[in-house]
């Protein structure tokens, strides 16, 4: 395929070798798929366990920040439709090579850590699914295939003994690495099927859970904390659990730095710029559709899980949504269904983020920042296969740590920093993007505040990464 030279708003010419095979629906599925992953299916338990019912305030904060930042992405994508996305925006706005390089490398690092977060979340849900109460699963398989229950129980029991979380992680990376290598269009079709399935399961979880709203809000005698003198009348009251009662702002904002990864999916949409049909129109539309969809689903999901199980139970669970739905009329059948949703959700988030990671490395290689080998495309499918292999291997190495809270915190902190820089970039280029100055300023403020609450481990990791990249380049 011959290269096609294209030009952005500032007259900078870039060679587009990638093929435009994706439509608006594909872009939305990448955004929604990357957002609704481990952040809501796995990390929500950690978040709820940390902030108690006040976790809903953390989600509201992140939602507002994502709306303001999404505006900046949509505006900037009109000027710079290249696949570099955040890296391209910051590099063009600041026109300082070091800032652009540090931003691009930090974004690439954030994508890698996100992939590892989703891989760990996937292994947790699959492990929970297969190593929990197997009786319902045995009954389901026996009923569907007409097999003897004792035979099915024996086969499943023997198979599950061989399953290890690390094997699950390796299998996930291998399967979706090969899928991304095979074809862009096949990746998009697979993503669409998975995302629609998991959103349908989440909607089912919400509808079933909301039938219990009246019962949730009915005052009842619950746990009494003699130290603080608090009586828990239901899961929503008091709003601030013992972990937040003394200083409510700290745990709420700490949770923001953990769950922010659940809102970052829309920033992957601009990375499809060189493979998306009519990118100047479709990128902005896909971003807004993704943000609205994700925020609505998240708020309802958080309300339901708060109503179904208390904060201390969610915080101790590897699969909090599956744990929660057991307390409804659907019982263990719902647990299996939501467990399947968690598996699909984390898998699609991994798939979408791996796609964006390889495309970012491709653009940075084209601009001379990453090694030239990263720009090589496969002959048949025209995908940057070297970038894809490196991203797969590095995300696998991070995922094998199996520390979900740590990798999620690092990823969220990295995206908070990137989103802050993108909002500042939109402000600097507001005359060209035709943006009202107040929106990028508010976006920058909403993404700067969480930086003050990052964990020491996240700050040290980011500082070492940024400092190392600046020193090298």
Q: Please tell me whether the overall predicted TM-score, pTM, comes out greater than 0.85 for this model.
A: no
What is the length of the chain? 473
Contact 177, 378 (CB under 8 A): no
Among positive and negative, which fits the CA dihedral 40, 46, 52, 55? negative
Q: Which residues have CB under 8 Å from 167's CB, separation 6+?
A: none
In this prediction, residue 137 carries a pLDDT of 64
**Alpha carbon distance 93, 29 (integer Å):** 29
CA angle at 367 for the pair 365 and 369, rounded to the nearest 5°: 60
**Alpha carbon distance 355, 241 (integer Å):** 40
pLDDT in tens, 46-84: 888 888 888 899 999 999 999 999 999 999 988 887 656
| pLDDT tens, N- to C-terminus, the chain (473 residues) | 445 544 444 544 445 455 566 778 888 888 887 788 666 776 788 888 888 888 899 999 999 999 999 999 999 988 887 656 788 888 888 888 788 888 888 888 888 888 888 888 888 777 776 665 566 567 667 777 777 777 777 776 666 665 677 888 888 888 888 887 776 566 667 777 878 888 888 888 888 888 876 665 555 544 444 444 444 456 666 565 555 556 778 888 888 988 888 888 888 888 776 777 888 888 889 999 999 999 999 999 988 888 888 777 777 776 788 788 887 878 777 777 887 888 888 888 888 788 888 888 888 888 788 888 888 887 777 788 888 899 899 988 888 877 767 777 788 888 899 999 999 999 999 999 899 999 999 999 999 999 888 888 888 888 888 888 878 77
**Alpha carbon distance 197, 329 (integer Å):** 22
pLDDT in tens, 187-237: 667 777 878 888 888 888 888 888 876 665 555 544 444 444 444 456 666
């Amino acid at each position: 395929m011959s290269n096609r030279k294209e030009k952005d708003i500032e007259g900078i010419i870039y060679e587009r070798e990638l093929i435009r095979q994706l439509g608006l629906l594909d872009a939305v599925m990448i955004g929604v798929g990357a957002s609704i992953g481990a952040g809501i299916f796995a990390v929500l338990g950690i978040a709820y366990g940390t902030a108690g019912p006040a976790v809903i305030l953390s989600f509201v904060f992140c939602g507002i920040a994502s709306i303001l930042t999404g505006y900046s992405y949509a505006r900037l994508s009109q000027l710079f439709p290249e696949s570099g996305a955040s890296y391209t925006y910051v590099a063009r706005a600041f026109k300082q090579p070091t800032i652009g390089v540090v931003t691009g490398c930090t974004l690439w690092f954030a994508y890698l850590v996100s992939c590892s977060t989703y891989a760990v979340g996937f292994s947790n849900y699959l492990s929970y699914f297969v190593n929990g109460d197997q009786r319902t699963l045995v009954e389901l398989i026996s009923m569907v295939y007409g097999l003897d229950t004792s035979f099915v129980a024996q086969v499943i029991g023997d198979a599950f003994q061989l399953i290890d979380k690390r094997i699950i992680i390796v299998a996930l990376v291998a399967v979706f690495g090969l899928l991304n290598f095979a074809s862009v269009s096949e990746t998009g079709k697979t993503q669409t099927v998975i995302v629609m399935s998991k959103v349908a399961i989440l909607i089912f979880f919400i509808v079933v859970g909301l039938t219990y709203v009246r019962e949730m809000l009915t005052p009842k005698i619950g746990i009494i904390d003699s130290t603080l003198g608090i009586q828990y009348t239901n899961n929503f009251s008091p709003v601030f659990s013992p972990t937040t009662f003394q200083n409510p702002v700290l745990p709420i904002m700490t949770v923001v730095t953990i769950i922010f990864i659940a809102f970052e999916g829309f920033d992957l949409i601009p990375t499809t710029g060189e493979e998306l049909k009519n990118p100047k129109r479709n990128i902005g539309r896909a971003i807004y559709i993704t943000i609205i969809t994700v925020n609505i689903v998240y708020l309802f999901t958080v309300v339901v899980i708060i109503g179904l199980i208390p904060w201390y139970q969610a915080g101790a669970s590897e699969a909090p949504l599956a744990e929660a739905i057991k307390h409804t009329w659907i019982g263990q059948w719902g647990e299996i269904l939501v467990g399947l949703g968690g598996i699909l959700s984390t898998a699609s988030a991994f798939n979408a983020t791996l796609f964006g990671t390889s495309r970012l490395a491709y653009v940075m290689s084209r601009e001379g920042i990453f090694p030239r080998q990263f720009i090589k495309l496969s002959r048949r499918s025209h995908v940057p296969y070297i970038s894809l292999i490196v991203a797969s291997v590095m995300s696998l190495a991070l995922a094998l740590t199996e520390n979900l809270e740590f990798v999620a915190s690092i990823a969220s902190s990295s995206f908070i920093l990137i989103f802050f820089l993108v909002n500042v970039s939109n402000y600097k280029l507001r005359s060209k993007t035709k943006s009202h100055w107040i929106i990028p300023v508010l976006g920058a403020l909403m993404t700067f505040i969480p930086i003050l609450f990052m964990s020491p481990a996240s700050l040290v990791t980011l500082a070492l990464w940024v400092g190392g990249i600046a020193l090298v380049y």
